[in-house]
Structure 1
Amino acid sequence: MPTSGVRLEEAGANVRVLVIDRVERRNALSIAVKDRIADLVEVLDNDPGVKVIVVTGGPSVFVAGTDVEEMSRLTPTEHTLMATDRMFRVLRACRTPLIAAVDGYALGGGFELALSCDLIVAGAGARFGLPEIRVGVMPGAGGTQRLVRLLGKYQALRLVLTGDHITGTQAHAMGVVSDVTDDGAALARALELAEVIAAMPQLAVQAILEVVEVGAEAPIDVALVLERRAFQLLFDTEDQKEGMRAFLEKRSPEFQNR
């Protein structure tokens, strides 16, 4: 199957790994690569056998950014007609948990790709940054908006207005990264997390992801109502009954995802 710079690998029965493999361009996100990622995520998200998707790159570069050579020739109209932001929209809409495993550079669109995932695992020496200002533009796929929500205005603007990098360790301390590992171990740790999440009752997983995503943009009172309703609805699932019965019987639950 043609890869367009992206490989699909199986890691356990319910986990799939998307490997961005465009070494000659430091895994830069060309339109073909972004479309391939979007296509694969859409297929995997509709596969009931896939419980977690891990996105990763190479040991020294996750994604060095958008393909500037290709992007420099585009007009505003071409951006619209070619839907150059489609990959990011697909990632944000994905109902299957997404984990970014980052070693090396995650810059520009690479950082925004990671920020579009639900969890980010990074090597201590990974380098995150939004250097778009240095080539005369700005982040255009969630970088400014997601960082402001994560870090607040002042820390976010420091990174966006200077194009400076932060390490995986710094990103973890700032709350941008879920877990930090030794360099080279991000994928292994991401797969460990993926196996844990894949074993959880999937209706509860999907409810949590939906409430967190929607609630983050809502007033707290509205978000609390959404959370409570989702909590109550899960009491109609077989997994709720099995989970609580297993707890009381002091055994491991056998979830059926229904």
Structure 2
Amino acid sequence: MSDQIHIERTGRTATVRFDTGSTSNALSQSLIRNLTEVAREFRAAPDISTVILTGRSDNFSMGADLKDPDRARLASAGLGERRIIQRLGPDLCEAWERVDAMTICAIEGWCIGGGMALAAACDLRVSSETATFYVPEVERGMNMSWGAIPRFVALIGPARTKRLAALCEKVSAEQAIQWGLVDYSSLPGSAVKRAQQIAEEAADLPPTALKMVKQDVNVSAFSLARATAHRDLEAFLLMQESDDFKEGVAAFLEGRSPRFTGD
């Protein structure tokens, strides 16, 4: 397993922490693969009732790593290979959504883009009072993908999803609680501690009944998710061919404002 991921088990609770060593805690393709593997290991662990997922103590994650050297493969890859590479993010979120145990995402600092998609794939979210949520994909000339849109809609409704993912509004922890994007708040630096308290309460419940109810809720909430999210990968591939996509990424890497043309 990657040295960027640390797993601790206490009783019926597992805590998964990912830390790239950088304050951005960006999701590289390698890290995405490893986090997906971790989720699949917990897919059907009978001795685990809750899994806490957290990032760094200063930032949960600032999203997909646009400076990841592995992304260079996309420039020369054919359509078939690019479709496979672009499945990494959706597969990550689906793997965490499919964990049998109750998943609790503990968030400090910034939770951006792909980090938001990953947080939304968990069952519950705990954030510190100073956390901020932000989905900047449209500002980068791309659509929000990773199957996140139907999960956002299930959590906060269509209008607020448009504010979050289309208008790219930055959402404070207080506003996130009001919207239903976050379930529990905590003092700065104590999101994991609050998540552990919730996990301890869950661990006292009958494990199988807990997991069965979770699955029932997910089936009810996300029954149309695959039907509505399947096209976001194809749309992302299409957007990569646009001038606005190239301009959005270039402007981000160069630290300047983008100049979009609609092409």
Structure index of larger Rg: 1
Match of 1:8 in 2: 7
Displacement of 1:217: 4.3
- 2:136 aligns with 131
| 1:48 corresponds to which of 46, 59, 64 | 46
In the other structure, the counterpart of 1:58 is 56
If asked which structure has higher relative contact order (CA below 8 Å, sep 6+), I would say: 2
Q: Is residue 23–residue 59 contact of structure 2 (8 Å, CA) maintained in 1?
A: no
Task: For 1:43 and 1:57, locate their aligned partners in 2 and report how far apart those are by CA, in whole Å.
Answer: 19
> Which residue identity lines up with residue 164 of structure 2 in the other structure?
L
Question: Which 4+ residue blocks in structure 1 deviate beyond 6 angstroms?
Answer: none
What's the TM-score once normalised by structure 1's chain length? 0.78
Q: Does the aligned pair in 2 maintain the 1:15–1:52 contact within 8 Å?
A: yes
1:27 corresponds to 2:18: no
* 2:106 aligned counterpart, secondary structure: strand
Deviations 1:153-174 (A, max 9, x none): 2221122122221111110111
> d(CA) in 2 for partners of 1:102 and 1:25?
14
Q: Where in structure 2 are there 5+ consecutive unaligned residues?
A: 225-263
Task: Deviation per CA, 1:105-148: give whole Å up to 9, x if none.
Answer: 11000011100000000011101111111211121113322222
Deviation at 1:97, TM superposition (A): 1.0
SS at match of 2:60: strand
- CA deviations on 1:222-251 (whole Å, 9 max, x unpaired) are xxxxxxxxxxxxxxxxxxxxxxxxxxxxxx
Q: Residue 91 of structure 1 corresponds to which residue in structure 2?
A: 96
The TM-score, its normalising length taken from structure 2, stands at: 0.77
Structure 2 CA distance, aligned partners of 1:111 and 1:158?
Answer: 14
CA distance in 1, matches of 2:92, 2:223: 25
What is the alpha-carbon distance in structure 1 between the residues aligned to residue 183 and residue 45 of structure 2? 26
Change (3 A) 1:183 1:78: farther
Worse-superposed segment, 109-118 or 135-144 = 135-144
- Tell me the distance in 1 between the aligned counterparts of 2:2 and 2:113: 23
User: In structure 2, the residue corresponding to 1:100 is in which secondary structure?
Assistant: strand
Report what 1:102 is aligned to.
107
Structure 1 stretches lacking a partner, 5+ long = 220-258
1:17 is matched with: 15
d(CA) in 2 for partners of 1:90, 1:36: 11
- Aligned residues of 1:4 and 1:32 also touching (Cα < 8 A): no
| Whole-angstrom distance in 1 between the partners of 2:33 and 2:3 | 9
> How far is the alpha carbon of 1:218 from its aligned partner?
5.7
How do 1:72-87 residues align onto structure 2 when only pairs under 5 Å count? Answer: 73=72, 74=74, 77-82=80-85, 83-84=87-88, 85-87=90-92
Letter in 1 for 2:66: V
The match for 1:155 is: 160
2:200 maps to amino acid: E
**Equivalent in 45, 65, 76 of residue 67 of structure 1:** 65
For each residue in 1:45-104, what CA deviation from the matched residue of structure 2 results, as whole angstroms up to 9, or x when unmatched? 333222211000112110110111237542653342233122112112111111000011
Question: 2:54–2:106: 8 Å Cα contact kept in structure 1?
Answer: yes
Within the alignment, does 1:171 sit opposite 2:170 as a pair?
no
Q: In structure 2, the residue corresponding to 1:106 is in which secondary structure?
A: strand
Output the CA distance in 1 between the equivalents of 2:195 and 2:158: 29
What's the secondary structure of 2:42's corresponding residue? helix
The alignment covers a number of residue pairs equal to 217
Change (3 A) 1:142 1:218: closer
